[in-house]
Structure 1
Amino acid sequence: MLENNPIERHSSFKTFILNPDFKSSVKHILIIRPGAIGDVIVTLPTIGAIRKHFHNARIEIMGYASFLEIAKGRFYADTVSRFDQADLAPLFTKNSNISASLINKLSNADLIISFVSDKEQIMVRNLRAAGAKHVIHYEPFPSESEHVHIIDHFLKCLDLLGIPHSNKIPKIFLKDEDVLFGESFFKNRIVHPNKMLVAVHPGSGSRQKCWSLDRYVELILWLNEEMDAQILIISGPADTEIVEDLRVKVKDKFILADQLPLPFLAAIIKRCNLFVGNDSGITHLAAAVETPAIAIFGSSDPSMWGPRGERVKILFKKSACSPCSFDTRRNCITQTCLGSVTVEDVMSEIRYTYQHSF
Structure 2
Amino acid sequence: MRRILVIRSGALGDFVLTLPAIRALREAAPRAHVEIVGRTATLEVAHERYYADAIRSIDRADFAPLFAPEGEASPEVVAYLTGFDLILSYLPDRDGLFRRNLERVGVRRLVCGGPIPAPDEVRHIVDRLLEPVEGAGIPVGDRTPRVFLTEEDGRTAEAFLKGRGISEFDPFVVIHPGSGGARKCWPAGRFARVADEVQRTTGARVVVPQGPADEQVVAQMVSEMVVAPVVAGGLPLPVLAGVLARCRAYVGNDSGVTHLSAASGAPVVALFGPTDPRVWGPRGERVRTVQGDAELPEERRLEAIGEEEVIRAVKEIENKPNPPSPFPEGEGGATYCL
When normalised by structure 2's length, the TM-score is: 0.90
Out of 136, 139, 142, the residue aligned to residue 164 of structure 1 is 139
1:65 aligns with 2:36: no
Give the C-alpha shift of residue 174 in structure 1. 0.3
Give the direction of change, closer, same or farther, for the CA distance of 1:246–1:317 in structure 2 (3 Å limit). Answer: closer
Out of 320, 328, 348, the residue aligned to residue 312 of structure 2 is 348
Q: Which amino acid aligns with 1:218?
A: R
8 Å Cα contact 1:319-1:336 kept in structure 2: no
Give the direction of change, closer, same or farther, for the CA distance of 1:191–1:93 in structure 2 (3 Å limit). Answer: closer
Q: Aligned residue for 1:199?
A: 174
Out of 105, 120, 137, the residue aligned to residue 130 of structure 1 is 105
Q: Aligned residue for 1:271?
A: 246
Q: Which amino acid aligns with 2:203?
A: D
- Residues 48-100 of structure 1 show CA distances to partners (whole Å, capped at 9, x for unaligned) of 00111122210100000000011111111111111011222221221122122
1:241 aligns with 2:216: yes
Q: Which amino acid aligns with 2:204?
A: A
8 Å Cα contact 2:251-2:314 kept in structure 1: no
- Residues 278-332 of structure 1 show CA distances to partners (whole Å, capped at 9, x for unaligned) of 000000001001110100110000000000001000000333356x6xxxxxxxx
Distance (whole Å) between structure 1 residues aligned to residue 110 and residue 243 of structure 2: 38
Highest Rg: 1 or 2?
1
Distance (whole Å) between structure 2 residues aligned to residue 319 and residue 162 of structure 1: 38
8 Å Cα contact 2:122-2:279 kept in structure 1: yes
Give the C-alpha shift of residue 357 in structure 1. 5.5
Q: Aligned residue for 1:37?
A: 12
Q: Which runs of 5+ in 1 are unaligned?
A: 1-25, 325-334
Give the C-alpha shift of residue 251 in structure 1. 5.6
Give the C-alpha shift of residue 191 in structure 1. 4.1
Distance (whole Å) between structure 1 residues aligned to residue 284 and residue 245 of structure 2: 13
Q: Which runs of 5+ in 2 are unaligned?
A: 323-338
Give the C-alpha shift of residue 353 in structure 1. 3.1
Instruction: Within 5 Å, give how 1:1-358 maps onto structure 2.
Output: 26-191=1-166, 194-250=169-225, 253-321=228-296, 335-356=299-320
8 Å Cα contact 1:32-1:113 kept in structure 2: yes
Q: Which amino acid aligns with 1:30?
A: L
Q: Which amino acid aligns with 2:133?
A: L
Distance (whole Å) between structure 2 residues aligned to residue 70 and residue 238 of structure 1: 19
Q: Report the secondary structure of 2:114's partner residue.
A: coil
Give me the identity figure in percent: 36
Q: Report the secondary structure of 1:226's partner residue.
A: helix
Q: Which has the higher contact order (CA 8 A, sep 6+)?
A: 2
Distance (whole Å) between structure 2 residues aligned to residue 50 and residue 344 of structure 1: 43
Give the C-alpha shift of residue 204 in structure 1. 0.7
Decide which structure has greater helix share: 1
8 Å Cα contact 2:196-2:226 kept in structure 1: no
Give the direction of change, closer, same or farther, for the CA distance of 1:139–1:305 in structure 2 (3 Å limit). Answer: same
Give the direction of change, closer, same or farther, for the CA distance of 1:193–1:164 in structure 2 (3 Å limit). Answer: closer
- The CA RMSD over aligned residues, in Å, is 1.7
